[in-house]
A and B are shown apart, each in its own frame.
Chain A
Amino acid sequence: MSCTVRIPSPLRSYTAGASMVAAEGGSVAQVLASLERRFAGIRFRMIDEQSRIRPHIRLYVNTTEVTALSQAVATGDIVHVICALSGG
């Protein structure tokens, strides 16, 4: 499966500034592994060592929020990475 991942600005240091990158995989976990192979270190900034999405990160497959990394991804899907900050 081939999809597109929308990279938010805090993570573009890993993608040489690219905001949209191609990735492979039939699940969110596989897409993240594909991203990690291309952009070493990027997965751990989003996913902790217990394979949980970090507290202030949200992932979406198209418009559906990801609640488990096993969630399916189909060819042509867009995986969105959202980061939340507050205050100063």
Chain B
Amino acid sequence: MTSALWIGTRKGAFTLRPDARGRGWKLSGPQFLGHIIHHVVQDPREPRVLLLAAKTGHLGPTVYRSSDRGRTWKEAAQPPAFRKAADGEEARAVERVFWLTPGHACERGTWYAGTSPAGLFRSEDGGGRWQPVAGFNDHAMRPKWVPFGTPDGQLLHSISVDPRDPQHLYIAISIGGVFESTDGGADWAPLNEGCAADFMPDPNVPYGHDPHCVALHPGAPDRLYQQNHCGIYRLDRPERCWVRIGRAMPKKVGDIGFPIVVHPSDPQTAWVLPMDGQTVWPRTSIAGKPAVYRTSDGGKSWRRLDRGLPQSQAWLTVLRQAMCTDGRAPRVGVYFGTTGGEVWAGAGGGESWRCIARHLPEIYSVTHAV
């Protein structure tokens, strides 16, 4: 099976593919040199199709579509954009397309996009024309749900579609929280009970949380994992209260980070990459010793995986879209990219690591394509 890692960076998109002998990786690109690439995502319904979210420092945001596995690209005829504001309304403009998610398997051509400022958009023609999801973007509660943004702005991310029901959607917003829709996006409700919001005057608020990444298990879609600004959580629906499984992490490591990825078939297994969330939030590997942690029991315990990773003075930062698996059970490959431009591959579920690319621009996303 052909396999590729798509690397979205601050200066373009790159691909890594296994070399002919299958022992190393061959880097190709850049494509879109100079563009800020937040996400590159393959369509599992049509594997030849990829969508790519791009902008530059000065030009407006857009989406490109490839129908030949990334060899050529065509720009969306109508990129995600908020509706024209009425007099007296807040006039929102998409600053960047931050996240892309393919729609349900039965809705061929449907895609969702999350933006900054926090907006949800839907395309029904494979990413060519995008429409605002008014049920969220114009929800009466939205100004309260999304009170303010991160230094990088409000970010709508982690869009998940229940594989059993195309009407059942989850989104996450930094800062705002996790929200759920059971009617295809027409209405939404917060889903943050149990999650800490230590930075808020009342830490038990129903919304206003900072989920960094939420992953729904594709084979057990009642199970969600969340890496939050305030810990690692698990939720088993129909429960509504997240359980802080990060409490089982070593105290000196803590449970702060950005990405969380799930095993392709085992809902008990997930990986995180802890970052330093103390004092002013350095957001680097703890004590300069990077490590991935894996749970194989739904978060009751965690195992440190650092064989092959630098053992000291390595101050890596890994962003929320920059970690993935190759989806190949049982010996799952795990990959992450750093803001310092390195890509690391963890064989055997992260048992041993090696650097497979370096000297790339700041990495924003690492995704796998077949």
Contact = CB atoms under 8 A, between A and B. Distances in A.
Interface of A: 10-11, 40-41, 44-52, 54, 56-57, 83-86
Contact of B93 (A52, A56, A86): A52
Contacts of B79: 41, 44
Interface stretch (B21-29, B57-65, B161-169, B300-308): B57-65
A59 B81 CA distance: 22
Contacts of B1: none
A56 B95 CA distance: 12
Contacts of A56: 57-58
Interface of B: 34, 56-60, 62, 75-77, 79, 81-85, 91-94
A54 B58 contact: yes
Contact of A50 (B34, B76, B84): B84
Contact of A10 (B58, B76, B93): B58
16 contacts: A41-B76, A44-B79, A45-B59, A48-B60, A49-B84, A49-B93, A50-B82, A50-B84, A50-B93, A52-B93, A54-B58, A54-B59, A57-B59, A83-B58, A85-B56, A86-B57
Contacts of B76: 41
Given A40-B77, A41-B75, A48 B59 contact: no
Q: Is the interface of B mostly helix, strand, loop or mixed?
A: loop
A84 B58 contact: yes
A44 B57 CA distance: 14
Contact of B60 (A40, A45, A84, A86): A45
B59 A49 contact: no
A28 B77 CA distance: 22
Contact of A83 (B59, B81, B91, B93): B59
Contacts of A11: 59
Query: What are the nearest 5 A-B pairs in CB distance?
Result: A48-B93, A49-B81, A45-B59, A83-B58, A56-B58
B60 A54 contact: yes
A10 B75 contact: no
Nearest to A51: B84
A1 B356 CA distance: 57
Contacts of B58: 10, 54, 56-57, 83-85
Nearest to B60: A45
A41 B84 contact: no
Contacts of B62: 41, 44-45
Nearest to A52: B93
A11 B94 CA distance: 19
A46 B55 CA distance: 11
Contacts of A49: 81-84, 93-94
B60 A50 contact: no
A84 B56 CA distance: 11
Contacts of B85: 50
Nearest to A87: B57
B59 A46 contact: yes
B84 A46 contact: no
A10 B91 contact: no
Nearest to A56: B58
B96 to A, nearest CB: 12
Nearest to A54: B60
A85 B77 contact: no
